Amino acid sequence: MGRRMKVGFLAALAVALIVVAAAGASLTGKHATTTLVFGASADPVILDGPLVSDGESLRPISLIFQGLVSLKPGTTTIVPQLATSWTTSKNGLVWTFNLRNGVKFQDGTAFNAKAVCFNFNRWYNFPGPLQTDAVTYYWNTVFGGFAHPAQGSPGPDKSLYRSCKAVGSSQAVITLTRKSGGFLGALALSVFGMASPAALVKYQADAGTVTADGVFQPTGTFGTQHPIGTGPYMFKSWKIGDKLVLVKNPTYWGKPSDPPWSRSAKIDQLIFVPIPDNAARLQALQTGEIQGYDNVAPQDIATVRSNSGLKIVNRPPFNVAYVGINQSQPPFDKLAVRQALAYGLDRASVVNAFYAGRGQTTNQFLPPQLFGYAKSGVPDYPYNPTKAKQLLQSAGLTLPVKIDFWYPTNVSRPYMPDPSRNFQAFQASLENSGFKVVPHSAPWRPDYVATVQSGGAQVFLLGWTGDWGDPSNFLNVHFGSQTQEFGFNNPSLFALLKKADAETDIEKRTALYQQASVAVMKFLPVVPYVHSTPALAFKSNVKGFIASPVGLDPFWLATVS
């Protein structure tokens, strides 16, 4: 048996080597030039805008659906899209949108004012199981109320939206319950893209059952097989775990000569492949199995840059990392102590050391991209241990002052790639500045966020990535009302932010938010320290891709040469 076995074994080995060599012959890594394969970190949840809030769902949704307004590529500047112009009533409650003519949905039905009102009323009338933040986060955040609220859901009295009226086929009149300048910017979110009413009905977009676990299961096929909008791309096929395929919309209304946000697509086919692991996405890019992916890990940027066949595309910074302060926990109810903390944090050193050249030390909460960013008058708190100690003593405290400082583990966020290193550096600088830091950590999901947001953390590391191009999404969300996280009650700040949010004139709105930005830095509920620049990676032959600060990436502008 021995010789036979040996021969058999060697033969099997030879066959294996031949198989591998033959396999290699056909792995070219080349794709047709009319296709772009993009590595996503997960499958979309569902292709129905108002029912999602995750980036992987919103990416294809932003290509299939369009809203009344959009953003100039690479910026947060609002531009016309399905609405060509709009006016507001004197009291700021009535918004009249003049709609673009000649636009059809991908199923051939007409886009018109009735379709706009159908969509708005659909969202406003979502049934109970769809009313939680887990499902309709953005409707809840922007409009905050439903026509028929389930228990625990806000009702019409809380809703920003009152009604929609179609005036002819080309004018949609939306009435709000109160003034809101942020309303227009929020409409640029892909979640508020217009869907074909005929398709919503035919494919039963809102049909579903609720299990004994309370989970809503959609039973219609609109969001899984028939998502129909007006966008430059349309749905072709989706096999979960495998690929989502979009193809160029042959009846798209936009022309190649139109402004960039409305142009027709150049690449015929987009394929989104779910690859959860970051290292696997990088390797797939290197082999050519994909031609681009998002959220490049900081440690991989040098690898991409060193490969002449690959390139990095930067996403404009639209986030902020901060050291949060819970003022309900003494001694942080005293401004002098918060100021001492600010002077005791060596922010510039942390940014220089741990952001690989991709972080910008900041002096305020808003990113520079965003209108409302204050160019002057912002108090600065450069690292100054002596000043920090003086402030603590002036507050009547004996040094060192013990503080509980929290940081998350098992996570890398775009604004904070390495939380534990940030913490260690901050701990060292604070202990040099009259503080005694007691460290606390918890896994990001689910404990850390829960601890911070329920007011359990005294001082903590956290951050925020903006959802839409309006300062209210940064300042009002965090400081517009009392929260357990920050533990303060500042009626004048709340009033200023409310006034700023209600202002519809852009110049006045900008001035008010600049004022608010300065006010926040004087009051110091947080000490912001960096706006970081996330990165995408592409094959070098992918041209024309412009990354959006809010993830509204115009794939239709890209080409593959």
Partner 1 sequence: MLRFIVRRLLLLVPILLGLSILIFLWIRALPGGPAQALLGERATPQAVQQIRHQLGLDKPIYEQYWAYVRTTASGNLGISIASRRPVTTEIRERFPATIELTVAAMIFALSIGLPLGFYAAKRHGSAFDHLSLVGSLIGISIPIFFLAIILKYIFSVRLGWLPSIGRQDVLINADHPTGFYVLDGIVTGNWNAAWDAVKHLILPAIALGSIPLAIIARITRASALDVQNEDYVRTARAKGLSPGIVDRRHVMRNALLPVATIIGLQVGLLLGGAVLTETVFAIPGMGSWIAQAIFNRDYPVIQGGVLFLAIVFVFVNLIVDLSYGLLNPRIRVS
CB of residue 294 to partner 1, shortest distance in Å: 15
Q: What angle do CA 187, 189, 191 make, to 5 degrees?
A: 105
Q: Which stretch binds partner 1 (CB under 8 A): 125-133, 331-339, 358-366, 520-528?
A: 125-133
Burial of 357 (0-12, 13-18, 19+ CB in 10 A): exposed
The kind and range of the H/E element at 9 are helix 2-25
CB 272 to partner 1: min, Å: 9
Gyration radius of the chain's alpha carbons: 26
Task: State in angstroms the smallest separation of the CB of 22 from partner 1.
Answer: 9
71 versus 462: smaller Cβ distance to partner 1: 462
As a whole number of angstroms, the distance between CA 425 and CA 241 comes to 40
Chosen residue from 34, 217, 225, 394 binding partner 1 by CB under 8 A: 217
Nearest to 191 by CA among 470, 468, 405: 468
Q: Indicate whether 23 belongs to the interface with partner 1 (CB under 8 A).
A: yes
Footprint (CB under 8 A) of partner 1, residues 51-70: 53
Select from 409, 454, 489, 540 the one that contacts partner 1 (CB under 8 A). 454
Say whether residue 17 binds partner 1 (CB under 8 A). no
Residue 276 binds partner 1, judged by CB under 8 A: yes
Sole binder of partner 1 in the list 101, 133, 147, 505 (CB under 8 A): 133
Please identify which residue in 90, 102, 152, 507 interacts with partner 1, judged by CB under 8 A. Answer: 152
Cα 492 from chain centroid (whole Å): 29
| 90 or 239: CB nearest partner 1 | 239
- Residue 226 vs 389, nearer CB to partner 1: 226
494's enclosing H/E stretch is helix 491-502
CA-wise closest residue to 561 among 320, 338, 311: 311
Smallest distance, Å, CB 17 to partner 1? 11
Quick check: helix, strand or coil at residue 171? strand
Is 129 one of the binding residues for partner 1 (CB under 8 A)?
yes
Closest to 520 in 3D by CA, of 468, 477, 469:
477
Task: Cis check for the bond before 317: say yes or no (omega within 30 of 0).
Answer: no
Yes or no: say if 70 and 230 are a contact pair by the CB < 8 Å rule. Answer: no
State the minimum distance, in angstroms, from the CB of residue 77 to partner 1: 25
What φ, ψ does residue 233 adopt, rounded to 5°?
A: -120, 150
Length, in residues, of the chain: 561
Contacts of partner 1 in 157-216 (CB under 8 A): 211-216
Least separation in angstroms between CB 548 and partner 1: 20
CB under 8 Å to 461, separation ≥6 — which residues?
Answer: 321, 322, 323, 324, 406, 407, 408, 416, 419, 422, 423, 426
Q: CA-CA distances (angstroms) from residue 118 to 18, 89, 141, 186, 296?
A: 61, 22, 20, 18, 39
Return the closest-CA partner of residue 37 out of 228, 244, 235: 244
Binding mask 397-416 for partner 1 (x = CB under 8 A): --------------------
At residue 519, what are phi and psi to the nearest 5 degrees? -60, -40
Of 5, 257, 380, 507, the one binding partner 1 (CB under 8 A) is 5
Stretch that binds partner 1, among 2-10, 74-82, 173-181, 330-338 (CB under 8 A): 2-10
Provide the mask over 218-237, with x wherever binding to partner 1 is found by CB under 8 A and - wherever it is not. x-------------------
Residue 51 CB, nearest distance to partner 1 (Å)?
9
Q: How many residues bind partner 1 (CB under 8 A)?
A: 72
Does residue 151 touch partner 1 according to CB under 8 A? Answer: yes
Q: Which stretch binds partner 1 (CB under 8 A): 170-178, 377-385, 462-470, 539-547?
A: 462-470
With binding defined as CB under 8 A, does residue 506 bind partner 1? no
| 308 is a site residue for partner 1 (CB under 8 A) | no
The answer to the question of residue 482 lying near partner 1 (CB under 8 A) is: no
Q: Which of 153, 517, 532, 533 binds partner 1 (CB under 8 A)?
A: 153
21 forms part of the interface with partner 1 (CB under 8 A):
yes
In the complex, what is the shortest distance from the CB of residue 473 to partner 1, in angstroms, rounded to a whole number? Answer: 11
The secondary element (H helix, E strand) that includes residue 320 is: strand 319-325
Interaction of residue 256 with partner 1, rule CB under 8 A: no
User: What are 171's strand-pairing partners?
Assistant: 98, 167
Answer yes or no whether residue 35 interacts with partner 1 by CB under 8 A: yes
* Rounded (10°) angle between helices 491-502 and 506-523: 160
Query: Of 237 and 352, which has the nearer Cβ to partner 1?
Result: 237
Q: Is 377 in the site for partner 1 (CB under 8 A)?
A: no
Residue 341 and residue 361: Cα distance in Å, rounded? Answer: 17
Stretch that binds partner 1, among 1-9, 77-85, 342-350, 377-385 (CB under 8 A): 1-9
Binding region for partner 1 (CB under 8 A) out of 74-82, 241-249, 331-339, 366-374:
241-249
Measured between alpha carbons, how far is residue 410 from residues 172, 418, 536 in Å?
47, 9, 22
148 binds partner 1 (CB under 8 A): no
Separation CA 329–CA 405 (nearest Å) = 12
